[in-house]
Amino acid sequence: MLKIWGRKNSINVQKVLWCCGEIGLKYERVDAGMQFGVVNTPEYRKLNPNGLVPTIEDDGFVLWESHAIVRYLARRHSRGKLWPENDKACADADRWMDWYNTTVWPNMRTVFWNLVRVPPEKRDVAAVEEARKKLAESFAIADAQLAGNAYLAGKEFTMGDIPMGVAAYRWFNLPIERPAHRNVERWYQRICERPAYKEHCMLPLT
């Protein structure tokens, strides 16, 4: 059985759990990271030398990096669905996953960490505002893409929606100013209707 190391409130772990939920894939999960420890033990560092979560073990195969894991699971268990059969559609979904990593996540991390995990008196308010503005610009790009598409890579939900889906939950639930992005809002509502998203991603922000 697939084994996943990682705590449920981790944005990166949520991507993997959501992916598994969409596929209907059974797994064993081990709490790891932050208050649970584990990640700095010699045993875990042999699996993932970065000491981060998530890490998976699948029939002896060990893999870390959340997007690599989502791609692996989608390709192995969900060809034609999460992993589009068409090469161009697959590349499109892949593009949005990479774009999240390079463009969205650095700013989302700044906003989330300061507003959720840093005490109010220690928050970098200026950094939060700068990152919020950049996030608004990023969501405007997603909004333009969604003007003619139900999902980021086209008409169907794919792996390309997973990273932005976990980011969108934070975007819409953090106490920040948000410009109106109507297409993103409609896409987000569709995402919120997915049972696996409700179970694994719509959790208190901690």
Across the beta sheet with 2-5, the strand order is: 27-30, 2-5, 55-58, 61-64
> What's the pLDDT score for residue 152?
98
Model pLDDT for residues 112-154, shown as the tens digit of each residue: 999 999 999 999 999 999 999 999 999 999 999 999 999 999 9
Q: Considering the entire predicted model, what is its pTM? A: 0.97
Token couple for 39: 């990640």
Strand-pair category, 61-64 with 2-5: unpaired
Report the distance separating Cα 201 and Cα 113, nearest Å.
17
Domains defined along the chain, listed by start: 2-77 (3.40.30.10), 87-198 (1.20.1050.10)
Quick one: 123 exposed, middle or buried, by C-beta within 10 A (0-12, 13-18, 19+)?
Answer: middle
Model pLDDT for residues 36-60, shown as the tens digit of each residue: 999 999 999 999 999 999 999 999 9
Query: Could you tell me the pLDDT band of residue 169, with boundaries at 50, 70 and 90?
Result: very high
At residue 156's C-alpha, the angle toward residues 153 and 162, to 5°, is 65
Model pLDDT for residues 59-86, shown as the tens digit of each residue: 999 999 999 999 999 999 999 999 999 9
